[in-house]
Amino acid sequence: MKTFPRFIISILFCSSLSLTAWPARAQNQEPKPSPVCQRDDALNVIHQQIEASRLIDDEVKRISVLIRAADLLWPYRQDKARAALREAFDLATRNYKEKGDEPSLQGHLIVQVADQRYRVIGAIAKRDPAWARKLSDQIREEEAKEAEEKATKDVERDARTAEKLLAAASALLPTDQPAALRFAGASLRYPPTMFLPIFLYRLAEINAAGADQFYREALTAYLSVPMERFLYLSSYPFGASGDVGEMPMYTAYGVPRNFTPRPALQRSFVETLLRRAEQMIQNPVVNPAGDRGRLSESGQMWLALTRLGPQINGSLPDLAEAARQARESMFAMLSQTDQRRVNNTVMERPQKSFDEMIEDAERQQDPAIREATLAIAVMHASANETLEHVVSAADKISDTGLRAQILSWLYFERTQKATKDKKFAEAKRLASKVDELDQRAYLYLKIAEELIKRTRNDSEARELLEEVLNAAAKAPDTEVKARALLGVAFLYTRIEANRSIAVLGDAVKVINHIASPDFSSDQAGRKIEGKAFGSYATLQTPSFNPENGFREVGKVDFEGAQNLAANFVDKSLRAMTMMALAEWCLQNSPPPRKPAKVEPKVVKP
């Protein structure tokens, strides 16, 4: 999960190991239908990858291989799967002790570091919840003992523990809801974070009553936590995509499409908020500004009651007067500086036209703020504004690097709209103006996919794919180039298998030239960064991932994909792609033959 700081920001193997159990195809031989492979052969290959993983230096990559192998082996060879998971957990524990889980700052973006222990626990919980719970309890006991020895409370560390537990719970929801709820319940011992509403909304999609009950438990658990944490409970009852306070970390929540507000939970939340306001009124204390420049308790209460005013007036009219009085009392407790601050936070500003926003930006005295304001105006310009007019505004940005990023972002968004509107020629023209190779490849692949689906026009789709390959040929060997080639190989499986395996081979060559390739995520990042401005978004690109690419190509040329997987220099990539092919084999191999029934011989005396 990526979170955002508070400034101008816009949301958003030894190399000889191979599949020896499967015969190799002679080079340059035409692709043929994938063979029927044997289950035991595939299982042996997976076990080989566990053995080979001990030669992987990167602990995180090694853990990934062990988790993947264990997941595939569990239904067939549970003892080996358990051993792999124990090994993974030991590695994860060592990794945590050496490196910890402190977040890092990348540009303007705060990036959370995954605690590999909880990653392994999440994998274990899908198969053995009791074992996972035992390991989780063990971690919490160790952390509690460490905190007691330090005699200090580390809120940020405790908050990260809550996030890890809720992340594990969210991952378990589709397969084991009781186990997910146990992990989520354990998180209530720690401060609330934005992972709480994320989990609640995901749970509500599959069990609305269960989500409501868990919300009640959370409200009880967090009755007296600091207001900046308590207000993480504000979004769910109202079906809101954001919180009503000034939060330590924030994001836009994915509210389920059919979610409806919860009046009973709204009442519980507001009544709790009002009780806390009354306690502060009756026992006034010196109320300085919050830590790190955040709002004080009274400031957070005033902000929450103000933002919730319309909902309280509409859905809870009997609480409206109490809310008004509490709001006035909270405001009186604020310093003049904080009064101006909270007023500016909730003040509704008149809607401005695109041209007015550009004019405001040009009046800014600070060059960095001027550039940021221009950039935001261009990025969020209505689709009704002509492209030429928006491009003209972007040309006012002095920073050539930022201007190029903004224009690429603009062309990317307009390409998506043209593709959705089935204006494929226009979409192709706009996509060609996107500078970033992986993003241009993503757009071309989307257009080609729509052409194949809607018009059955293979020649036009092929033309687009070849344009990506031509651009890639001129680019240096990077992960961006490799992802583009993997995407092209993926789509060529639908129109020309020969070309698909050839492009996949090119992708392997590129990846082998990269010092430390990392394809652990199916997401390709999009970002714009200026001196006082950052905007981030991600693209879901499963076909740009080597495992998925090899799996799909393996469906049309299994032996060719097998041979290419063995060519990876990176040991973890070789292992993961081998296992992707083995998984396909397990899913498509015939069931084991039943032993022939042998009639007993009758021996005559």
pLDDT on residue 36 = 52
Q: What are the structure tokens assigned to 300, written together?
A: 């957070």
Q: What residues does each domain of the chain span?
A: 222-286+293-348
Question: Rounded distance, CA 91 to CA 128, Å?
Answer: 19
pLDDT on residue 2 = 39
- Ranges of the chain whose pLDDT falls below 50: 1-34, 108, 287-291
Angle at the Cα of 591 from the Cα atoms of 590 and 593, rounded to 5 degrees: 110
Quick check: pTM over 0.85? no
pLDDT on residue 77 = 94
Other CB atoms within a 10 A radius of the CB of residue 406 amount to 28
The DSSP-derived string for 104-144 is EEETTEEEPPP-HHHHHHHHHHTT-HHHHHHHHHHHHHHHH
pLDDT on residue 545 = 84
Note the pLDDT tens digit of each residue in 350-400: 678 899 899 988 998 888 888 888 988 988 888 889 999 999 999 999 888
Handedness of CA 224, 227, 233, 237 (dihedral sign): positive
Buried b / exposed e across 138-150, counting CB within 10 Å, b at 16+?
ebeeeeeeeeeee
Question: Rounded distance, CA 50 to CA 572, Å?
Answer: 10
Q: Which residues contact 34 (CB under 8 A, 6 or more apart)?
A: 554, 555, 556, 557, 558, 559, 588
Question: Rounded distance, CA 514 to CA 479, Å?
Answer: 7
pLDDT on residue 143 = 76
Question: Rounded distance, CA 256 to CA 570, Å?
Answer: 40
DSSP-derived pairing of the beta strands 2-3 and 109-111:
antiparallel
